[in-house]
Amino acid sequence: MSVVRQTGSVVRPGEKTVQIPDAADAKLVFIGTIHTPWTDRAMCPRQGRHDGPDCRIEVFEPWAPALSGLGAYDTIEVLYWLDRSRRDLVTQNPKGDGQNYYGTFALRSPQRPNPIGTSLVRLVGISGNILTVRGLDCLDGTPLIDLKPDRCAFSPKAPDKPEALL
Ligand SMILES: C[S@@+](CC[C@H](N)C(=O)[O-])C[C@H]1O[C@@H](n2cnc3c(N)ncnc32)[C@H](O)[C@@H]1O
């Protein structure tokens, strides 16, 4: 088993890491880049706010036609790849106080085996392949994985499923 090279944050005293295998099974396609004002983690909000600054999501070709219809939603879900994260932490001490430790899955920390970030953002506008949104919390240049309408505002476009499957 080879070991994934870790980047980004330091391990705090008492935090626990494990050896992890190469992540070669799920092959993601980055469909765009997120442009934000933040180039340093210390400047980046922990969770985005709808009254935060405008951020731009650039959707790469050939995916621009996939934005058709998205403009009907005030709120959309953005999934992104927290590319500067460690991926080997199983317990974390977010405050660095040497006292309060939590399992990675009990946190929304960017340090996780598959560093997927999600935010429900306010959609300000779409112009061609560029979306303007508010409510992000990621570093400038973070890769975009997916965009979806807010599930609360979304009505399925497919036929109803048989009750037995619900
Ligand atoms: C706590 S995470 C929350 C992400 C998302 N809202 C969620 O809950 O899934 C946000 C933090 O991740 C860090 N971060 C942002 N962009 C990152 C990136 N590209 N790689 C690694 N860490 C990042 C910053 O410290 C930021 O404050």
79-104 pLDDT tens trace: 999 999 999 999 999 999 999 999 99
Query: What is the model's pTM?
Result: 0.90
Mean pLDDT to the nearest integer, 150-157: 90
Pocket residues: Cβ below 6 A from ligand 1:
8, 41, 44-47, 82-85, 108-110, 117-119, 137-139, 142
| Contact present, 115 and 9 (Cβ < 8 Å) | no
Q: How far is the CA of 142 from the centre of ligand 1 (A)?
A: 9
Residue 47 has pLDDT above 90, yes or no: yes
Q: How far is the CA of 33 from the centre of ligand 1 (A)?
A: 15
Ligand 1 atom 27: residue of nearest CA? 46
- The CATH code for residues 25-153 is 2.40.30.70
pLDDT for res 124: 98
Mutational test site, ligand 1, from 102, 136, 138, max ligand atoms within 8 Å of CB: 138
**35 bridge partner residues:** 56
pLDDT for res 165: 58
| Contact present, 54 and 146 (Cβ < 8 Å) | no
Could you tell me the two tokens for 54?
């405008």
